[in-house]
Amino acid sequence: MSRRAPFLAWAALLWALLGASCAGGNPAQDAPAPSKQEAPAGAGASLGEQVTLGESGAAGGRLLTCDYYSEESFLRSVREAQPYETDGALIAGVVPHHLLAGQLIASFFATAAESGEEYESVVFVAPSHYPTAQRAVTAQSGWQTPFGVVENDRMITETLMGGTLAARADEDNMQLDHAVSGLIPYVKYYLPGAKVSAVLLQNRLEPERVEALAKRLLALSQEKKILLVCSVDFSHYLTPERAALHDERTRAALAAFDYQTIAGFDDSNMDSPQSITVFLRYLQGRGAGEVRFFDHSSADRILGLPPGDPAYREGVTTYFILGGVPG
């Protein structure tokens, strides 16, 4: 992504304000240790649950760790979650990876859990935030969360590694990148029986590989009950007023399935046009005639910062919660 320095400055400020893990800092040092306390009533799994390693990890039985997990922030987000109204089981959605918006993330996964659909796997498509020689990165390992192990869906992962997309396995990069790592605990909490697979996409990924990914996911949806989750933050680095204008343009492009306009967006609108393209192609392929706009917010609104706050010098980040149900 571009303009990393302002982003890290903004993330550091949020860390200081919230005392919670976001995108900045060293995850290995800053992440709190998993707690052994019991999960709140209604959780899909209990804190501290351990399972025997089988095929969940990669070679050597490695499990990736959720280095951005903060127990206090996570449990607050699930307490405050408010499931969205929907007239069918979700087939796909878009959520933030900025954990400041945890309540929105939790609300999406609570919606999926309450739909009654027994998802076999959650497939994450997200932007790659860190330099790598590969334009599409996946992982073959499962995840250790405070609520137990989430197994990797090896069949889906191997499919992503083949064909035109040809994602390459990079366990370290997947664990480091908050775009997926920060969301994994929500899967185990709300959808405890689901496996996961994930792919990180660079913004310079070729359009034909983006299209190939969408087609592969559509084919997989004929074989398994999967929930596609695209992890995307929207407007970056702008004042709240300017960010709102860009979000209006983004909303219009999403509603119109305007792929050409979306392909030209940069960080002023969203951090991963590639992920959004996959989301929209998937919806259309599954017969969903519209994008459901469940929620919209921004960092300044969540923090309740007054106009003129120094945080605005680096701009704000905005968030959409989107979904789709079969047509």
- Its pTM stands at 0.84
Neighbour tally for 196: CB within 10 Å: 26
pLDDT band at 32 (very low <50, low <70, confident <90, very high): very low
Predicted pLDDT at 4: 39
Helix (H) or strand (E) holding 140: none
Whole-number percent of the chain with pLDDT over 70: 82
Predicted pLDDT at 42: 38
Give the pairing of strands 148-150 and 142-145.
Answer: antiparallel
Among 96, 140, 124, 119, which residue's Cα sits nearest to residue 233? 96
Predicted pLDDT at 290: 95
Query: Tell me: the pLDDT tens digits for 64-114?
Result: 999 999 999 999 999 999 999 998 999 999 999 999 999 999 999 999 999
Q: Do residues 83 and 48 make contact, with C-beta atoms less than 8 angstroms apart?
A: no
Q: Do residues 236 and 100 make contact, with C-beta atoms less than 8 angstroms apart?
A: no
* Phi, psi (deg, nearest 5) at residue 231: -95, 105
**Range 159-173 average pLDDT:** 95
Residue 12 has pLDDT above 60, yes or no: no
Whole-number percent of the chain with pLDDT over 90: 74
CA torsion 224-227-231-232 (nearest 10°) is: 110
Strand-pairing partners, residue 267, are: none
Dist. CA 136–CA 126, nearest whole Å: 10
**Range 160-181 average pLDDT:** 96
Placement of tokens 């120094």 in the chain: 310
pLDDT band at 38 (very low <50, low <70, confident <90, very high): very low
**Range 197-220 average pLDDT:** 96
Predicted pLDDT at 249: 98
* Better-predicted residue by pLDDT, 320 or 30: 320
Predicted pLDDT at 61: 73
Cα dihedral 268, 274, 275, 280 sign: positive
Dist. CA 157–CA 214, nearest whole Å: 14
pLDDT band at 49 (very low <50, low <70, confident <90, very high): very low
Predicted pLDDT at 229: 98
Query: Tell me: the pLDDT tens digits for 284-306?
Result: 999 998 999 999 999 999 999 88
Give the pairing of strands 63-65 and 142-145.
Answer: parallel
Terminal alpha carbon distance of the chain: 34
Query: Tell me: the pLDDT tens digits for 223-265?
Result: 999 999 999 999 999 999 999 999 999 999 999 999 999 999 9
Mean of per-residue pLDDT scores for the chain: 85
Q: Do residues 226 and 160 make contact, with C-beta atoms less than 8 angstroms apart?
A: no
What's CA 273's distance to the chain center, in Å? 14
Per-residue exposure over 135-145, b if at least 16 CB sit within 10 Å of its own CB, e if not: bbbbbbbbbbb
The beta strands (E) that lie in 164-291 are given as 168-169, 195-201, 226-231
Residue 43 has pLDDT above 60, yes or no: no
**Range 141-170 average pLDDT:** 97
pLDDT band at 131 (very low <50, low <70, confident <90, very high): confident
Query: Tell me: the pLDDT tens digits for 56-65?
Result: 454 447 899 9
